[in-house]
């Protein structure tokens, strides 16, 4: 299964340009869509799950155009939106039964088998008789995943997967996604949290102001930051100068004053030790340096 996005743009009726000529290929496994707030992630997700039409361009799934094969492709989709709400009067199991019926599962026995299986998979079997509204944040999120998976979709789209989860629930949720991705499934995660991407995704794209700034593996993005992340040991006076000069990723008090991790294409006027970058470093490096460079190159071609 493959999703191909061709020259996709979305301009809202008020003139907001949310997506601009996007081109992207998404294959099996977990695909991370990372970008700051307002980058256009939700807009893209909503177009992918057919809640919204693009202004131009198209999306194909296995060569089939979304706009022409709506019914068929919809049956392959599972979606967990950012602001997912439950019916407060339904128990977890009843809620899943309702969602299963909505997704076209007419056979009662088939539905109850599917509900039992999915409740086990997301670790909510014990909570099947609890009111959905009384579950913890992490359990609600897992129930959200359960409703998105109940009809065994081939494409699972999740917007901001770990919002509102505590660290333990976050890890559990990521592990659950890894388990699901072992099948022939495409999982698309959209997030502004770098950690959601690094631990689970094999491929990713960086969306910025409606455009794809990078697409590849997290390791490729990290590779680009190698040699551009530094640890500087600074006293109070240097601390202020460094803050004014470089993007600072972390500051930890130390014997000499401060141990600061900074991103710099070239480190000037300060001495530092090189640091092996992680995805967070790479993201900052990309946004600060590469992106600026891309924009400057583009301006040069325009002028």
Start-to-end CA distance of the chain, whole Å, equals 42
How many residues in the chain?
A: 303
CB of 280 to ligand ADP, least distance (A): 18
Q: Which is nearer to ligand ADP, 52 or 231 (CB)?
A: 52
Question: Please, which residue, 41 or 174, has the CB nearer to ligand ADP?
Answer: 41
Tell me the closest approach of the beta carbon of residue 42 to ligand ADP, in angstroms. Answer: 3
Instruction: Kindly tell me which of 16 and 107 has the beta carbon lying closer to ligand ADP.
Output: 16
Instruction: Name the burial class of residue 131, with classes exposed (0-12), middle (13-18) and buried (19+) by CB atoms within 10 angstroms of its CB.
Output: middle
The footprint of ligand ADP (CB under 6 A) covers: 12, 14, 16, 18, 35, 37-43
Q: Residue 32 or residue 272: which is nearer to ligand ADP going by CB?
A: 32
Identify which of residues 41 and 170 has a Cβ nearer to ligand ADP in the complex.
41
User: How many whole angstroms from its chain centre is CA 131?
Assistant: 29
State the nearest-atom distance from the C-beta of 14 to ligand ADP, in Å: 5
- Closest approach, Cβ 191 to ligand ADP, in A, equals 9
Closest contact distance (angstroms) between CB of 101 and ligand ADP is: 30
Interatomic CA distance for residues 126 and 109, integer angstroms: 20
- Find the angle CA(284)-CA(160)-CA(88) to the nearest 5 degrees: 155
Q: How far apart are CA 50 and CA 97, in angstroms?
A: 23
For the CB of residue 39, give the shortest distance to ligand ADP in the complex, in Å. 4
| Residue where the block lists tokens 């891309």 | 294
Q: Helices (DSSP H) in the chain: which residue ranges?
A: 41-48, 70-74, 92-102, 108-121, 137-149, 167-181, 194-198, 218-225, 236-245, 279-285, 291-302
- When the beta carbons of 97 and 159 are compared against ligand ADP, the nearer one is 159
């Amino acid at each position: 299964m493959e999703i191909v996005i061709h020259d996709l743009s979305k301009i809202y009726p008020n003139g907001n340009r949310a997506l601009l000529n996007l081109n992207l290929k998404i294959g099996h496994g977990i695909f991370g869509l990372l970008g700051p707030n307002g980058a256009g992630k939700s807009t893209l997700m909503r177009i992918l799950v057919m809640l919204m039409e693009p202004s131009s361009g198209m999306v194909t799934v296995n060569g089939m155009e979304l706009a022409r094969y709506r019914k068929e492709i919809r049956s392959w989709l599972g979606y967990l939106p950012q602001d997912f709400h439950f019916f407060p009067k339904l128990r977890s199991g009843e809620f899943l039964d309702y969602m299963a019926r909505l997704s076209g599962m007419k056979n009662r026995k088939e539905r109850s088998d599917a509900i039992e299986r999915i409740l086990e998979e997301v670790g909510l079997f014990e909570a099947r008789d609890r009111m959905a509204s009384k579950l913890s944040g992490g359990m609600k999120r897992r129930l959200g995943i359960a409703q998105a998976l109940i009809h065994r979709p081939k494409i699972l789209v999740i917007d901001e997967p770990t919002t509102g989860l505590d660290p333990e629930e976050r890890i559990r949720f990521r592990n659950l996604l890894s388990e699901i991705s072992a099948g022939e499934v495409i999982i698309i995660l959209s997030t502004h949290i770098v950690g959601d991407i690094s631990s689970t995704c094999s491929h990713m794209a960086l969306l910025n102001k409606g455009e794809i700034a990078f697409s590849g593996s997290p390791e490729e993005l990290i590779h680009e930051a190698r040699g551009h992340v530094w640890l500087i040991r600074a006293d109070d006076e240097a601390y202020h100068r460094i803050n004014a000069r470089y993007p600072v990723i972390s500051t930890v008090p130390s014997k000499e004053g401060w141990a600061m991790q900074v991103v710099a294409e070239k480190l000037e006027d300060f001495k530092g030790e090189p640091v092996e970058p992680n995805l967070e470093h790479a993201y900052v490096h990309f946004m600060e340096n590469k992106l600026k460079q891309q924009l400057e190159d583009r301006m040069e071609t325009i002028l």
